[in-house]
Structures are given as structure tokens and as C-alpha cells.
Amino acid sequence: MNRAHLPHRLLCTLLSLLLALTPGWSLGDVYQDLPDMGSVSGSLLTPRQEKQLGKAFMRYVRATQKVIDDPLLDDYINTLGRQLVQHSEARGTRFTFFLVRDPTVNAYAGPGGYIGVNTGLVLTTRSENELAAVLAHEITHVIQKHLLRAWYQDQNLTLVQGAALLAAVLLGTLAGGNAGMATAIGLQAAVRQQQINFTRQNEKEADRIGIDIMQQAGFDPRAMATFFSRMGRAIRAYGTKLPEFLRTHPVTNARIADAWGRAETYPYRQREDSLRYLLARTALRESGFQNPEDGILHFRSALKEGRYRSRAAARYGLARALYRARRFDSAAKELAALLKEHPEVPEFIVTASRVDMEKGKREAALKRLEKAVHRHPSSLPLRLVLDELYLRAGKPKKAYAALMRLASDYPEKTRVHRLLAQAAADLKRPAESHQYLATYYYLMGDLEAARRQLGIALRQSGLDDYERARIVSQLHRVEEELKQLKETGGKK
């Protein structure tokens, strides 16, 4: 194989994952816009190419990490992230924030504005200001294109090393020895030091701009210095076994001092934690109990002894644990009290509706959510859960119509396509159902499953020529991507 062509093909493999399973896309649409990979010293990716690479990155993350598919938690982290983005130079640019169920302390910024945060980091923060500090820091890495600049930084790298560096940065640090490309794994140790050196060079810039973003967005700018000071003290506790966050975001005394100095240029601002931040932390903590009965004991004890930052959040944790333990009457009692005090909080509305559904009170569950959606029509978690309960209540037509609108507005939401597959199946549209399942698996990075679903869709009776041609076209794209992965040593 001509080594001069390998980087181009490696990037083709990554970019090929962006193809949506919808009419109008073709491999030519991707390949004609590929960056010139013949020289590591070339220009950075165009915004469109960076977004395409980001989509590929996100699919790999879903395939290898436990990305949380909870409408409420997803909505919270994206709401917080968007608030910060709107007070940055990237105002109006689309960012995607996601949570990964992983107890380690880590956060990372991928290309195209995809920013991941481990649940361990969320639970490590002591305030919403600290969580905002981490997000602002990662947002700055995206705005300043630190990742892409690192990719092109060293002109002495060979073409193979340049491409492998990108794969190692995007994939290796996330999946360890299970990174997608054999060449990237082989060179990961060689390029690791360069990645760390680059990070040290740019962390101060990410801190400085991130602090400015926090100030503009109404958060306490001192929280970044506070959080990194605690991380710095943790280095002594961890010794040589540092969590990934401290390896990729090295903390030094000079850096902490710079962050404090920058923050001190702004007047002191006290900002209380939002209820949704406290509820998100509570939900993560409650889901950490494998046995829900342990969660019940924990939150009841906390309420009895007054060991909580928010009584409402503690009662929410108890209600969630009771719901998981199928003690629905007790859960309903807790939620009724919470809704009386906080009638518009989506976490309470959604959980109460789910409890009612389990108790057989379908109409009450749907009515509560329908009223909430009417009051808050832009709330994605309320709309998603309403459609989910429509399906459980045997109302697939209502769910289907609403989910089609959501699929148009949120084409990368995996839950939307999974629910659409169910709705289509309930409406006796098997070919369509399998196509939506194929899209779901595709977004999850499981190309083999996507291919199987498209094959099943193609075997359904009653397909017209247009439908058959569309499925065949989609199947060919997936098969081409699988072929490219095998040719480049990829593992899927």
C-alpha cells in the first residue's frame, strides 16, 4: 500500500461515518470536500469538514462509551452548555454536549463542537459554577481549534503519523487499547508526549477565555481556579495513577495562579446552584445504587438527618429510588409533594407521569404531560417522554406524527429513531420500522446491525420502486463504510 495515501483513506473512514441514512446523501458529497492530507502543514479543516469529523467522532464515542440516553440529563447538560456558548465568540454555533456514564474524572472536546463529560466529573464538582468552568474550558478548546492545531503542529511528522495522531487524540484517549485504528494504537505512545506538550501550551488560553465566558454568562469566574486548585491537590493523592482529566489537563501552580489572577480582575459574584443542577447530581447518584432499596435507605436517611443541600433534590432521589423499586404509591406521594412546590420542573413532571403510567393511570399521565408540553412547547424531554408514553398507551399515530417532527429538528437523537421504529411497527409499517432501526444502529456506531436492518427492510413485501431504490442506496453506503473500515484495519 502506498503510505502517502493511507492518511487520506484513514480520514475517509472516519468521515464516512457521517453519512445520514436519508435520501440525498452520497459518498461523493463527502469525498469531494476532503481536506488535502498530503501535507501535515496544510490548512486546517473547513467548518463543514470539521463538523463531519465531529459526527464521526460522536458515533465512535457512542459505540465505545456508555453515553447517557436520558432526556432530562441530556437536556440539562446541553442547556448549561448552550448558555455558555451564547456568551462566547461561538454564539450561534451548534455545540453538542453529552454525558458518559463513567466514574472517572474526565471531560474532552472533540471536533465540531462535541463535548463530553463523565459522570464522575459532574459528581466531583461542588457547585454548578465549577461544572460551568469545565464546560467553558472545553468550549474554548473548540473555539480556538486547539485539537486541529495540535494535529498540524509538527511538520516533521510523517503523513501516517499525522493521521494516526488525530485518531489517537480522538479515539485512543477514550477507548484505551480498543481504539478503532491499528495504526493509531501503534503510534499512540509515540505521539502522547507531543499531545501533552501541546495541552500545556494551550491550557492557559483555555482558562483565560473560559473565565471570560463564565463572567459574561453570569457564573462565578473564580470557580475555575477553585476547581483546578482542588484537582491540583488531588495529584498528590493519586500519585502516578492520575485520572485522565489530569493527564490531558495538567495542573501546575503557575497555571492555578494565572487563573486566580484572571478571575480577580472581575468583581466577586455569588451565584447559587440551580435546582436542575442539584437534581442532575441526585439522579446520577441515585442511579449509582445497583439495588434501588439501597438508594431508598440513603435518601430517607439523608432527609431524616438533614444531610442535603436541597430538600427537594433529596426527595427527588427518594422518589426515583422508589420508582425503580416499583413502590409506585410511595413514589407518587413524594412526587405529588414536589409538584405542589415546583409545578413546572420537568424532572418532577416526567417522573410523576411515568409513575402514573406504571400504576395504570394512563390518561392522567398523558394529560399531565400534554399540559406541560402546551406550556413549554420547546422542551425536548417533555416532548420525548410524551411520545414514549403515547406508544405505551397504544396511541402510535400521535407518537408517530410528533416523532417525525422531532427527527427533523434533532436528526442525531438516537432515542427519537428508536421510538420511530416502534411507532412504525405498531402502525404495521415493517419496512419503515426496520429503516428507522437501521438509522438508530448507525448513529450508535453499529454498522453491522444497520446493514442487517436494511437487509430485512429490503425483503418486506409491498415496497414500491422508489422505496426499494432508497433502501438499496442506503445499504450500499453502509456496506461501503464497512469495507473501508476493514481495509484500514478498523474494528467494528
β-pair type (96-100, 114-118): parallel
CB-count burial class (<10 Å; 0-12, 13-18, 19+) for 256: buried
Residues 284 and 189 in one domain: no
Looking at 359, 377, 402, the residue that finishes a domain is 359
Cα(455)–Cα(82) distance, rounded to whole angstroms? 39
Q: Please give the average per-residue pLDDT across 19-37, as a whole number.
A: 32
The answer as to whether 304 is a domain residue is yes
CB-count burial class (<10 Å; 0-12, 13-18, 19+) for 374: exposed
Q: Which pLDDT value is given to residue 64?
A: 79
Residue pair 315/338 in contact (Cβ under 8 Å)? The answer is yes
Q: Please give the average per-residue pLDDT across 456-468, as a whole number.
A: 94
Q: Which pLDDT value is given to residue 255?
A: 80
Q: Which pLDDT value is given to residue 181?
A: 38
Residues 278 and 256 in one domain: no
The answer as to whether 154 is a domain residue is yes
Residues 12 and 86 in one domain: yes
Active-site residue, 207 included: yes
Q: Which of 189-203, 246-260, 429-443 has the lowest mean pLDDT?
A: 189-203
Longest CA span, the chain: 70
The answer as to whether 45 is a domain residue is yes
Strand order in the sheet with 114-118: 96-100, 114-118, 107-109
**CATH number of 303's domain:** 1.25.40
Residues 327 and 249 in one domain: no
Helix/strand/coil (H/E/C) assignment for every residue in the chain: CCCCCHHHHHHHHHHHCCCCCCCCCCHHHHHCCCCCCCCCCCCCCCHHHHHHHHHHHHHHHHHHCCECCCHHHHHHHHHHHHHHHCCCCCCCCCCEEEEECCCCCCEEECHHHEEEEEHHHHHHCCCHHHHHHHHHHHHHHHHCCHHHHHHHCCCCCCHHHHHHHHHHHHHHHHHHHHCCCHHHHHHHHHHHHHHHHHHHHHHHHHHHHHHHHHHHHCCCCHHHHHHHHHHHHHHHHHCCCCCHHHHHCCCCHHHHHHHHHHHCCCCCCCCCCCHHHHHHHHHHHHHCCCCHHHHHHHHHHHHHHCCCCCHHHHHHHHHHHHHHCCCHHHHHHHHHHHHHHCCCCHHHHHHHHHHHHHCCCHHHHHHHHHHHHHHCCCCHHHHHHHHHHHHHCCCHHHHHHHHHHHHHHCCCCHHHHHHHHHHHHHCCCHHHHHHHHHHHHHHCCCHHHHHHHHHHHHCCCCCCHHHHHHHHHHHHHHHHHHHHHHHCCCCC
Looking at 359, 382, 414, the residue that finishes a domain is 359
| Mean of pLDDT over the chain | 81
Residues 36 and 84 in one domain: yes
Residue pair 219/83 in contact (Cβ under 8 Å)? The answer is no
How does pLDDT run across 97-125, given as a tens digit for each residue? 999 999 988 888 888 899 999 999 999 99
Q: Which pLDDT value is given to residue 34?
A: 32
Encode burial over 229-247: b for 16+ CB neighbours within 10 A, e otherwise: bebbebeeeeeeebbbbbe
Count of domains for the chain: 2
The answer as to whether 215 is a domain residue is yes
Q: Which of 72-76, 108-112, 209-213, 423-427 has the lowest mean pLDDT?
A: 108-112
Higher pLDDT, 2 or 423: 423
Residues 151 and 293 in one domain: no
Looking at 331, 359, 387, the residue that finishes a domain is 359
How does pLDDT run across 262-289, given as a tens digit for each residue? 999 998 888 999 999 999 999 999 999 9
Residues 175 and 57 in one domain: yes
The answer as to whether 329 is a domain residue is yes
Cα(391)–Cα(192) distance, rounded to whole angstroms? 49
Residues 256 and 294 in one domain: no
Encode burial over 397-427: b for 16+ CB neighbours within 10 A, e otherwise: ebbbebbeebbeeeeebbbbbbbbbbbbbbe
Residues 308 and 207 in one domain: no
The answer as to whether 53 is a domain residue is yes
The answer as to whether 485 is a domain residue is no
Percent of the chain clearing pLDDT 90 (strictly above): 59
Sign, Cα dihedral of 416, 417, 423, 427: positive
Residues 104 and 159 in one domain: yes
Of 75, 138, 220, 432, which is the active-site residue? Answer: 138
Residue pair 349/382 in contact (Cβ under 8 Å)? The answer is yes
Q: Which pLDDT value is given to residue 56?
A: 73
Instruction: State which residues form the domain around 107.
Output: 6-263
Q: Which pLDDT value is given to residue 184?
A: 39
Cα(27)–Cα(25) distance, rounded to whole angstroms? 7
Residue pair 139/213 in contact (Cβ under 8 Å)? The answer is yes
Percent of the chain clearing pLDDT 70 (strictly above): 74
How does pLDDT run across 299-325, given as a tens digit for each residue? 999 999 999 999 999 999 999 999 999
The answer as to whether 27 is a domain residue is yes
Checking if the pLDDT of 70 tops 90, the result is: yes
Residues 248 and 328 in one domain: no
Q: Which pLDDT value is given to residue 189?
A: 42
Residues 106 and 157 in one domain: yes
Q: Which pLDDT value is given to residue 421?
A: 98
